Amino acid sequence: MEIQVEEKEGFYTVTPVGELDVYTVPLFRKVVLKLEGDRRHDIILDLTSLTFLDSSGIGSLIEVYQKVRSAEGNIAFVLDNPRILKLFRLVNLDRVFRIYPNLGKALQAVGVSSGYVDEKFFSDLT
Amino acid sequence: MLADGDRSNDNRLSFDLPCTKKSLARAREKIRRFAVDNGFETQVEDIQLATQEAIKNVIQHACPADNNIRVDLLASGDSIEVEVSDMGMGFDADTVMRRDKAPMAVDGRGFVLMEGLMDTVGVTSDSEGTVVRMEKSRGDGTTGGPEG
């Protein structure tokens, strides 16, 4: 798994690419919890590049959510994969997490708007 | 190509795994091939993840003395049956399957996923080991989950 981290107006977008499961959770925790340790409390978790998620991966997402919330930070999730959404529904996380279908909408929702390009909007025009 | 120790015919596959995390990836690939070969392409991800969760439970909790996990797959008609068994210390199956987990607990969702992804899940466990039996029907590809 690869993890991409990008900062925009104080919000950190974290994008795990590949599988988030019992094998890769330690790396994911290390990266995200380091942001927390550095007091980067506002996080968007972009899960659109996840190809596999198991119960360990779900547990790590909950752990990050709890740490951000306990530090009174903001956290939002980007998710468009029906497979992963199905797993979220099974464990009722769709009722707890703020989930947006693309990064643009998530950034908008948390108040980061500069430099935002709605790629779907423009792709619909072509 | 089956690895040594695999027993298979067209609609049945049995294999043993050592009780280590590396076994999860091996099992997933074997299950994917078996499910696809038997026409369960639509259900393959549900079957893979449910079985992985069952195996993970053994690795994390059962600690079988013989360091061995047995996986049996049977494709018959419109369904796949999966059995994951071990000779570990066992646990109180009723308690584990019916426990009311705190909504935001970090762990303990393996059985929730298994029950959501498969059509039936049953567990028998005693001091001589545990057997998890699951079944997934071919259906229209939407059975067993909230999408259905």
Q: Does A69 touch chain B (CB under 8 A)?
A: no
CA distance A29 to chain B (A): 13
Q: pLDDT tier at A124 (50, 70, 90 boundaries)?
A: low
HSE of A6, CA atoms in CB hemisphere, 13 A: 10
A54-58, A94-98, A121-125: segment of lowest average pLDDT: A121-125
3-state helix, strand, coil in chain A (%, to 5): 45, 25, 30
CA distance B135 to chain A (A): 18
* pTM given for the model: 0.84
Q: Note down pLDDT in tens along chain B; length 148 residues.
A: 444 456 666 699 999 999 988 899 999 999 999 999 999 999 999 999 999 999 998 888 877 777 899 999 999 989 999 999 998 887 777 766 665 566 677 777 888 999 999 999 999 988 888 999 999 998 754 444 344 3
Q: The tokens 């790590």 sit on which residue?
A: A60
Q: Which fold would CATH assign to domain B8-137?
A: Heat Shock Protein 90 (3.30.565)
Distance CA(A116)–CA(A118), nearest Å, equals 7
The arithmetic mean of pLDDT across residues A6-25, rounded, is: 91
CB-CB under 8 Å, B25 with A62: no
Q: Which two tokens stand for residue B78?
A: 């419109």
Q: Which two tokens stand for residue B43?
A: 């259900």
Task: Choose the closest CB to B103 out of A22, A90, A96.
Answer: A96
Predicted pLDDT at B31: 96
Q: Does B118 touch chain A (CB under 8 A)?
A: no
CA distance B1 to chain A (A): 25
ipTM of the complex: 0.81
Q: Does B63 touch chain A (CB under 8 A)?
A: no
Q: The tokens 């018959």 sit on which residue?
A: B76
The 10 Å Cβ neighbour count of residue A103 is 23
Q: Does B102 touch chain A (CB under 8 A)?
A: no
Q: Does A54 touch chain B (CB under 8 A)?
A: yes
Residue type for B64, please?
P
User: What is the distance between the terminal CA atoms of chain A, rounded to a whole angstrom?
Assistant: 33
Distance CA(A23)–CA(B100), nearest Å, equals 27
* 8 A C-beta contact, residue A89 and residue B146: yes
Quick one: closest CA in A to B144, which residue?
A90
Q: Where are the domains of chain B?
A: 8-137
